[in-house]
Amino acid sequence: MKPLILVTGGTGYIGSHTAVELIQDGFEVVIIDNLSNSRIEVLDGIEAITGVRPYYENFNLCDFKRLRQFCEKYHRLEAIIHFAALKAVGESVEKPLDYYHNNFESLINLLQIMGEYSLPNLVFSSSCTVYGQPDNLPVTEDSPIKKASSPYGNTKQVSEEIIQDAIVANNTIKAISLRYFNPIGAHPSAHIGELPLGIPLNLVPYLTQTVIGKRPELRVFGNDYETPDGTGIRDYIYVVDLARAHVIAIKRLLEGKNLKSYEVFNLGTGKGCSVLEIINAFEKATGEKVNYKFYPRRPGDIAAVYADTTLANRELGWKADTSLEQTLFTAWNWEKAIRHK
Ligand code: UFG
């Protein structure tokens, strides 16, 4: 029988790509998602790619009673990947209590249920936002965790602490936190991708929407940073490479290869890339022209962050190896595929 993995937030952007990679690697997947920031049609996309429709349950993880019923039904669960969370930095400043309530309560419920049903394995979706603006680049897993710049960032920092405390109290639990840098792109089939509801906040969906004509121009926030071309630098990682890392993390836990009961890995490419470099790579990959204009810096943005990926490369035997141009090409194909949605 195939191992059954729970993917919370599995109809979301990274969750759906991870569900695909898990299924293609021989796992069975059950998704819990309340569709607060995703669409049910994503299940069709996963099925179109893999030929398998994952099990699906629609409820909020803050509902502990419902979660317990879920565990009774799916009693052969072997591991959990926890993506489900509110994730918009700006919104978290306006609605901090929603963020603390939702992101903490869902995680606490999961950890409680893991103890109750002897479910030992957790992969947690964390973020490079926990580092703030690091003093040294590239940023390693040992870099200091600075005060978070938003309630969203704070939920990621504290969630990692909650998991570690839960492990101290219950030594059957093992967890891996994966700190993502900037995931971009879509599945090469263009059956799934990022579906921003409303106006996109992130660079690449805004860029592709501009090129397809949904937005008049791409606003480049800041050209006076202390970077070679003055624009902000990030570590853009292909979402399918990122999804593959989750499969490896799950296998590491199931096979007992983890060195400690709690581990943390940076998931990025190891290469910083500026906004102008993204624009140039997109134009080269697609032959399309990007209409952009410089605007003032966006409040809260940092100048530069990119990952030291040595630990993930060595311990997970994983590397993000899809080129930036290939990645941006998938983002463009996806934008064209959803043109009429
Ligand atoms: N940018 C623009 N124009 C836009 C959008 C973004 O110039 O329309 C620039 C930003 O100023 C930044 C870069 O593009 O320099 C990347 O911005 P994104 O909004 O795509 O990504 P962020 O790095 O700001 O944020 C992402 C995730 C967060 C996460 C954070 C961790 O969206 O959830 O990485 O650093 F917390």
- Whether the pLDDT of residue 339 is over 80: the answer is no
Alpha carbons 175 and 104: distance in angstroms, whole number: 16
Task: Answer yes or no: are the C-beta atoms of 81 and 250 closer than 8 Å.
Answer: yes
Nearest CA to ligand 1 atom 8: 203
Q: How far is the CA of 203 from the centre of ligand 1 (A)?
A: 6
Which amino acid, 295? Answer: Y
Nearest CA to ligand 1 atom 5: 203
Q: How far is the CA of 278 from the centre of ligand 1 (A)?
A: 12
Express each pLDDT in 169-182 by its tens digit. Answer: 999 999 999 999 99
pLDDT band at 340 (very low <50, low <70, confident <90, very high): low
Q: Which atom of ligand 1 is nearest to the CA of 278?
A: 14
Q: How far is the CA of 273 from the centre of ligand 1 (A)?
A: 12
Distances (CA, A) of 241 to 157, 229, 270, 320, 323: 24, 27, 13, 5, 11
- Residue 125: the pLDDT is 98
Task: Answer yes or no: are the C-beta atoms of 119 and 96 closer than 8 Å.
Answer: no
- Whether the pLDDT of residue 227 is over 70: the answer is yes
Alpha carbons 30 and 171: distance in angstroms, whole number: 26
Q: How far is the CA of 323 from the centre of ligand 1 (A)?
A: 19
Say if pTM beats, i.e. exceeds, 0.95. Answer: yes
Q: 152, 180, 262, 306: which one is catalytic?
A: 152
Q: Which atom of ligand 1 is nearest to the CA of 220?
A: 7
Mean pLDDT of 223-247: 98
Mean pLDDT of 150-173: 96
Pocket test for ligand 1, best of 298, 305, 306, 324 (most atoms within 8 A of CB): 298
Pocket of ligand 1 (CB under 6 A): 87, 89, 127-129, 182, 201-203, 206, 219-221, 232, 234, 275, 298, 301, 305
- Residue 341: the pLDDT is 61
- The percentage of the chain sitting over the pLDDT mark of 70, rounded to a whole number, equals 99
Mean pLDDT of 273-297: 98
Express each pLDDT in 195-209 by its tens digit. Answer: 888 899 999 999 999
Express each pLDDT in 36-87 by its tens digit. Answer: 999 999 999 999 999 999 999 999 999 999 999 999 999 999 999 999 999 9
Nearest CA to ligand 1 atom 34: 182
Please, what is the Cα angle at 27 between 75 and 38, to 5 degrees?
85
Q: Which atom of ligand 1 is nearest to the CA of 204?
A: 20
Express each pLDDT in 208-217 by its tens digit. Answer: 999 999 999 9
Per DSSP, the three-state class of 186 is coil
Nearest CA to ligand 1 atom 32: 202
- Residue 133: the pLDDT is 81
Q: How far is the CA of 74 from the centre of ligand 1 (A)?
A: 37
Q: How far is the CA of 201 from the centre of ligand 1 (A)?
A: 7
Alpha carbons 152 and 90: distance in angstroms, whole number: 9
Please, what is the Cα angle at 165 between 162 and 169, to 5 degrees?
135
pLDDT band at 31 (very low <50, low <70, confident <90, very high): very high
Nearest CA to ligand 1 atom 14: 203
- Whether the pLDDT of residue 183 is over 80: the answer is yes
Distances (CA, A) of 268 to 45, 140, 224: 25, 11, 25
Closest CA to 282 of 138, 184, 192, 183: 184
Q: How confident is the prediction for the chain on average, in pLDDT?
A: 96
Closest CA to 235 of 201, 277, 264, 200: 277
Alpha carbons 30 and 81: distance in angstroms, whole number: 10
Query: Is 131 a known active-site residue?
Result: no
Alpha carbons 257 and 255: distance in angstroms, whole number: 6
Q: Which atom of ligand 1 is nearest to the CA of 275?
A: 14
Alpha carbons 114 and 221: distance in angstroms, whole number: 43
CB count in 10 Å sphere of residue 166: 20
